[in-house]
């Protein structure tokens, strides 16, 4: 069993977030608010600027949390002070205790990140991927044994500042000490973790995507409208958001990529992206325009409907 560093004092841990897009920056905010020192990395310097703006001024950013009384202005400033950024992967990984990769869903990119992490991070470092669809074992395939044994999935849900669930995904080779430490980290972040075996889409996404897929089928057949389907799941099953509202929140291009990756992994027709989803994305409807810059809108705008939040 791999012995990781004592996590009682989070300020002693160096956390590397690789990929500073929406999820990477938001996850960085969560770690920093809970006392971890964070270094965010992205190859695009403009993305680092955008990511820090998301942390400061985003819908679930620090300023919003201060305005709602969830944290104090001092706590927000302290969180910002714990975050640094770089375009250098090696600089971000050097002597890291916890690496979390949140880059685009491309196997070869993720594998290269973990190859470098295994070489230059701490030899006891936890190596996590935030992938929502790809096999953890495939990401680790071909890497040295000491690296493979430290790789696991740590799947946060959007927005990670609000959502309480974290899926910890283990392969047959993931060390038990690493998984135990991952669970402790999740608890330190104020999350509830579940332990999941390494199958495509894990637990929550498989169920959630099937709900979205069936909702899409009902919509395309003219059985009910976008609004009525969303209301059915909110009022009938207690969902906080309906399947189309949730799709518009996470981004329809993101939903399309996730479904396509899951379909390619499983060859299961249930996960095949709906034709209407492909149409919306191809025509520039990428989700809620308040959240997705440059988007024409999502399902509600496409069908000329008023959002409940408007």
DSSP 291: T
Q: Which CATH class is domain 10-197?
A: alpha beta
Q: Which CATH class is domain 205-300?
A: mainly alpha
What does pTM read for this prediction?
0.89
Tokens for 60, please give them.
């679930």
Active site residue 155: yes
Active site residue 205: yes
d(CA 47, CA 59): 17
Pick the catalytic residue from 16, 155, 158, 181.
Answer: 155
Report which of 145, 143, 75 is spatially closest to residue 113, judged by C-alpha positions: 143
Pick the catalytic residue from 167, 181, 213, 295.
Answer: 167
3-state secondary structure of 206: helix
pLDDT in single tens digits along all 310 residues of the chain: 877 877 777 778 999 999 999 999 999 999 999 999 999 999 999 999 999 999 999 989 999 999 999 999 999 999 999 999 999 999 999 999 999 999 988 899 999 999 999 999 999 999 999 998 889 999 999 999 999 999 999 999 988 999 999 999 999 999 999 999 999 999 999 999 999 999 988 999 999 999 999 999 999 999 999 999 999 999 999 998 999 999 998 899 989 998 998 899 889 999 999 999 999 999 999 998 887 879 999 999 999 998 765 5
Report which of 150, 181, 189 is spatially closest to residue 4, judged by C-alpha positions: 181
Answer yes or no: same fold for 10-197 and 205-300.
no
Pick the catalytic residue from 28, 132, 149, 216.
Answer: 132
Cα angle value 119/121/126 (rounded, 5°): 110
Active site residue 132: yes
Strand partners, 39: 16, 84
At which residue do the structure tokens 């899951």 appear? 262
Domain positions in the chain: 10-197, 205-300
Pick the catalytic residue from 16, 25, 181, 205.
Answer: 205
Active site residue 181: no
Q: What are phi and psi of 53, to 5 degrees?
A: -70, -40
């Amino acid at each position: 069993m791999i012995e990781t560093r004592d996590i009682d004092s989070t300020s002693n841990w160096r956390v590397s977030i690789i990929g500073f897009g929406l999820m990477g920056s938001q996850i960085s905010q969560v770690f920093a608010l809970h006392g971890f020192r964070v270094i965010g990395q992205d190859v695009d310097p403009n993305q680092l600027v955008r990511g820090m703006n998301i942390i400061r001024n985003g819908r679930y950013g620090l300023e919003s949390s201060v305005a709602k009384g969830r944290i104090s202005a001092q706590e927000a400033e302290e969180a910002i002070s714990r975050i640094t950024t770089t375009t250098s992967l090696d600089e971000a990984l050097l002597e890291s205790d916890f690496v979390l990769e949140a880059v685009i869903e491309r196997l070869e990119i993720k594998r290269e990140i973990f190859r470098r992490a295994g070489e230059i991070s701490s030899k006891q470092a936890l190596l996590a991927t935030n992938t929502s669809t790809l096999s953890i074992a495939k990401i680790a395939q071909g890497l040295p044994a000491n690296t493979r044994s430290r790789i696991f999935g740590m799947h946060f849900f959007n927005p990670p500042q609000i959502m309480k669930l974290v899926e910890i995904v283990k392969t047959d080779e993931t060390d038990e000490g690493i998984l135990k430490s991952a669970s402790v980290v999740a608890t330190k972040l104020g999350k509830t973790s579940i332990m999941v075996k390494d199958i495509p889409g894990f637990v929550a996404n498989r169920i959630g995507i099937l709900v979205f897929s069936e909702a899409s089928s009902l919509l395309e057949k003219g059985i009910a409208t976008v609004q009525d389907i969303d209301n059915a799941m909110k009022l009938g099953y207690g969902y906080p958001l309906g399947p189309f509202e949730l799709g518009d929140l996470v981004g329809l291009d993101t939903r399309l990529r996730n479904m396509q990756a899951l379909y390619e992994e499983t060859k299961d027709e249930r996960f095949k992206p709906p034709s209407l989803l492909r149409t919306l994305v191809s025509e520039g409807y990428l989700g809620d325009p308040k959240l997705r810059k440059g988007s024409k809108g999502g399902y509600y705008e496409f069908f000329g409907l008023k959002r409940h939040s408007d």
